[in-house]
Structure 1
Amino acid sequence: MASTSPKRPSRIGLIWLGLSKVLGLACLVVLFALIGMICVDVVARYLFNSPLSGAYELTELLLATLIFMALPLTTQAREHIEVELLDGIANRGFRLLTLFASVGVTSIVFAVIAYQIWHHALRLQRFGQVTDSLEIPLYLIGFLGAASCLLSAVVIYLPRHIPNALDRSRD
């Protein structure tokens, strides 16, 4: 009787596992900070007639941060919105071809977006752009967005995508 041991994750898989845990925890912290700040702002505004200074700017920045940090997690889990137009008429080979094409195109689009955001963030940094009331540098969000898109362009190639997409298309 042969024992079947679970397959050990690759080094890249272990790196992604650790990174995804860090990103997930960071998303959780940002979300709780956003919720707490909004609660404090609402209570201060309506009970004490003294709104939290800069709450609008912080809400914008925290939402952008949350979206950018969750993007690689969403990409790797294949949780983006998909339109499956040809699944009913295609054979397995054609589904595999369209899967590889969509992964390739998605990766290229993420890389181009990362490049554009990076250059925009460099311009923001060069000109010293900051938020209006709190004077938080805007280039920080730009660099986070560029890194997030670049990471999304890479994690879409993790092996987990191919079996999941093929399994889903069989349903």
Structure 2
Amino acid sequence: MNNENTNSAFQLDRLDHVLTWLSALPVALIVVLTFADVFWRYVFSSPIRGNLEMIEYAMALVIFTALPRVTRQRGHVTVSLIEGLVKGQAQRIKTVLCDVISAFALGILTWRLGLQGLEDLNAGASTVVLNLSHAPLSFVLTAFAGLSTLVVLMQIWKSLNKESAPS
């Protein structure tokens, strides 16, 4: 049993590593595109065609590729109004309740993004300048939101089974 826990922790750490790199790639793209666009504007008096659309897509990818990792690390912004008032079992209940609300919200987000992807696909929605289809981006965002939902469900499971200490 301990070997299984070590193996699953190792796999989750590898997933964190992959997600970190997946989040870094669109950030690097944003930096390079912004630099190149400024350079082209000043040197050649011509912006890069579709630069804004590519940056918008990259920004969405930065957020959603980081979401599962931030969720797993419990790195979301929180307000701790009652943190000092609850201890022990009450703290665990509070943590599970907050996780259930998060899972619900992420589940709705996943569902709505999936529907948006289908609508984009059926309507043939695309960007104005580069004619990039919106559907693939919506489906990728759906996958990362779904992964985040699974991460929260896993945290709930661990909390209910007393495998993880409440944060």
With the shorter chain as reference, the TM-score category is 0.7 to 0.9
Q: Which has the higher helix share?
A: 2
The equivalences for 1:48-127 within 5 A come to: 48-127=44-123
One-letter code aligned to 1:42: V
Correspondent of 2:24 among 23, 28, 34? 28
TM-score, structure 2 normalization: 0.87
* 1:101–1:34 Cα change, 3 Å: same
Alpha-carbon distance, 1:24 to partner? 1.2
Q: What displacement does 1:109 show?
A: 1.2
Match of 1:47 in 2: 43
Q: Give the CA deviation at 1:124.
A: 0.3
8 A contact 2:113–2:138 mirrored in 1: yes
Contact 1:99 1:162 in 2 (8 A): no
The 4+ residue runs of structure 1 with deviation greater than 6 A are none
By how many angstroms is 1:82 displaced?
0.7
Tell whether the 8 Å contact from 2:113 to 2:142 is kept in structure 1 after alignment. Answer: yes
Q: What is the aligned-residue identity percentage?
A: 21
Contact conserved, 2:50 with 2:130, CA < 8 A, in 1? yes
Question: What is the one-letter code of the residue matched to 1:154?
Answer: L
Q: In the TM superposition, what whole-angstrom CA distance separates every residue of 1:96-131 from its partner, at most 9, and x where no partner exists?
A: 110111111111110111011101110100110010
TM-score, normalising length from structure 1?
0.85
Equivalent residue letter for 2:148: S
Query: Does residue 13 of structure 2 align to residue 17 of structure 1?
Result: yes
In 2, Cα distance between the equivalents of 1:103 and 1:162?
Answer: 13
Matches within 5 A, 1:125-144: 125-144=121-140
Distance 1:8 1:27 in 2: 28
CA-based RMSD? 2.1
Taking the aligned partners of 2:26 and 2:17, their CA distance within structure 1 comes to 14
In structure 1, the gaps of 5 or more residues are: 1-5, 166-171
* SS across alignment from 1:12: helix
Distance in 2, Cα, partners of 1:46 & 1:117: 39
- Asked whether the equivalents of residues 117 and 143 of structure 1 are also in contact (C-alpha less than 8 Å), the reply is yes
Give secondary structure in 2 for the equivalent of 1:163: coil
Deviation for aligned residue 1:91: 2.7
Shift of 1:152: 0.7
